[in-house]
Structure 1
Amino acid sequence: MRQLELHHLRCIACVAKHLHFSRAAEELEIAAPSLTRQIQEAERLLGVRLFHRTKRSVALTAAGEAYLADITPALEHLARGAERAALAERGELGRVEIGYIASAAYAGVLRQTAGGFHTTHPGIEVTIREVVMDRVPGMLSEGQLDVAFVRPPMQFSEGIRTTTVYRDTFVVALPEDSELATAPTLSPAQLRDEWFVLPEQEAGTYEVARRGRFSPKLGPQPGTLAAVLACVSLGGNVAVVPHTLADCIALPGVVYRTISGKPIPSEIALAYRQFERAPAVRTFVDYVKSR
């Protein structure tokens, strides 16, 4: 048995709006006789008369008023659904799951990118979570994260790309009672006999050792930068950390010193899938790249 279709409902609602077949047909962009047939067919399928029609007037019947009260919210809901689908297709609606390392928050990168994006794209839900950096490649490949802020260099599988969003340099964090703390600047060679706490990004430590021509004595690798500094504060260890920490974290017992010579670069980068399918995620990546 044939049932009413969406075009029937739209015709009924439009005629009820105008109470005039010619004006309703004009809005619907169909011929008036075709609209009349659609209404007649709808009435036949429903088994009730929806409109009182004369040569001079059109009015809703009691059945028509009752039926219109139910189909109007449904049509409005369908219209909102179509609008939301279009927004999602354009990357204006959706969700972005962002992973980040702590220094991205310390450096203001997270606020400037994720925070700024949320302000300019209110239809996209932004979720952030701190992550262990060596888990990021797998989380991106497996879809547990959409994007992630990390500190290169890192090894990623094929299909993952990075773009630099913040440039920094490495400094040395050391106990304030260390003899080395009396100097404002330290050469790599002066750190030869120190024990190094390793951050997640080890590149700075090994570059200091390379420039000082020694093999670093490696202590604990506690994970986050805050944990690294906590180890330094206990005494007996130093750490090569991003300069951003010197501006953000004042931990009792810890001081920061610059490293002489050419600055050792430290960067924060956005890692993302090269062939991302989700429009909202692509919109976020484009937003970050444009800043």
Structure 2
Amino acid sequence: MAVADCLHFVRAAELLHISPPALTKQIQEAERMLGVRLFNRTTRSVSLTSAGEVFQIEARRALEQFAQAEESVRRAGRGEIGRIEVGYIASTAYSGVLQAELSIYRKHYPDLEVNLREGALARLPQLIEAGTLDVAFLRPPVTYPVGIDGIVIARERFVLALHAESPLARLDVVHPAQLRDERFILPEQESGTLEIGRRGQFHPQIVTRPGRLVAVVTMVSLGAGVAVVPHSVVDHIVIPDVVYREIHGGVVPTEIAVAHRRHEKAPAVRAFIRQVRDRSKAAAA
């Protein structure tokens, strides 16, 4: 390309910081490899042959493509392009935490592909361990496999979901002891239900475990029992015959965390983990 642009071997050699004989040898080797002459050479001038003109066009395209490839690799190394697989449970989307973190991430890395997958709470850490997911938004406590960690990024409280015709629905605040004789519908995160039983000094009578919150609240609407659910569902799961009530005796806490591989190597994923960790520290300060 240097010789084709300059049409002068000495000037081209100076641009390339090599000797003119070395450049001449390289051009001759290229012509032998291709089986065609690329340049017409005389003692006074150098010009491209018709084959040389074609090769100049294709070589320029190749160099431009190579430059683009180099830049893409560098950006991938900085975590600016690539793909990240994100798992979540629905209640983390109801809370807005999922949307907030991914919105910030996409502003900083607009060319990254973000794939979302809703999953079961107990399965998400296993999918990260297997490499199917990179990170997951979930609610502790949950068992993490070896090599998987979690970063707490938000906290909220549990509330009670009741059938509208339940006598307890007439109360603004329900004491845990008043739930002693109730039947409980268990969501994925059972810690709230267990804490209600501890505070009320009884063992919750669990009648069904539908897991997902929409299914849980639907069961409440059918009169199957009561449920302890995150407060963030109050404005997002509105189903006929269901009311939500606060729990007496102080906040029954629940957390949202981002699970990830402890020794993550992918730059795009590491960038997301770094963002989550920084924002978690800022919120706690």
TM-score, scaled relative to structure 2 = 0.90
Aligned counterpart, 2:133: 145
Aligned counterpart, 1:247: 235
The alignment status of 1:219 with 2:217, answered yes or no, reads no
Aligned counterpart, 1:194: 182
The alignment status of 1:45 with 2:61, answered yes or no, reads no
Tell me how far 1:53 sits from its aligned partner: 4.1
State the Cα deviation string for residues 147-197 of structure 1 (Å, max 9, x = none): 111100011111100001221111111111111111111111111111111
- Structure 1 unaligned regions, length at least 5: 1-12
CA distance in 2, matches of 1:286, 1:20: 53
Structure 1 residues 22 and 169 mapped into 2: Cα distance closer, same or farther (>3 Å)? Answer: farther
CA distance in 1, matches of 2:91, 2:10: 66
Matching residue within 130, 135, 153 for 2:123: 135
CA distance in 2, matches of 1:28, 1:123: 35
Percent identity over paired residues: 52
Contact 2:40-2:48 at 8 Å conserved across structures: yes
Aligned counterpart, 1:92: 80
Contact 2:187-2:216 at 8 Å conserved across structures: yes
CA distance in 2, matches of 1:226, 1:91: 36
Question: Number of aligned pairs?
Answer: 279
Structure 1 residues 14 and 187 mapped into 2: Cα distance closer, same or farther (>3 Å)? Answer: farther
CA distance in 1, matches of 2:134, 2:161: 33
- Opposite residue 194 of structure 2, the aligned amino acid is Y
- Opposite residue 40 of structure 1, the aligned amino acid is Q
- Opposite residue 276 of structure 1, the aligned amino acid is E
CA distance in 2, matches of 1:150, 1:29: 59
Report the secondary structure of 1:266's partner residue: strand
Alignment of 1:161-240 (within 5 A): 161-240=149-228
The alignment status of 1:79 with 2:40, answered yes or no, reads no
Greater mean deviation of Cα atoms: 46-55 or 168-177: 46-55
* Backbone CA RMSD of aligned residues: 1.9
- Structure 2 unaligned regions, length at least 5: 280-285
- Opposite residue 190 of structure 1, the aligned amino acid is Q
TM-score, scaled relative to structure 1 = 0.89
CA distance in 1, matches of 2:129, 2:260: 9
Structure 1 residues 200 and 37 mapped into 2: Cα distance closer, same or farther (>3 Å)? Answer: same
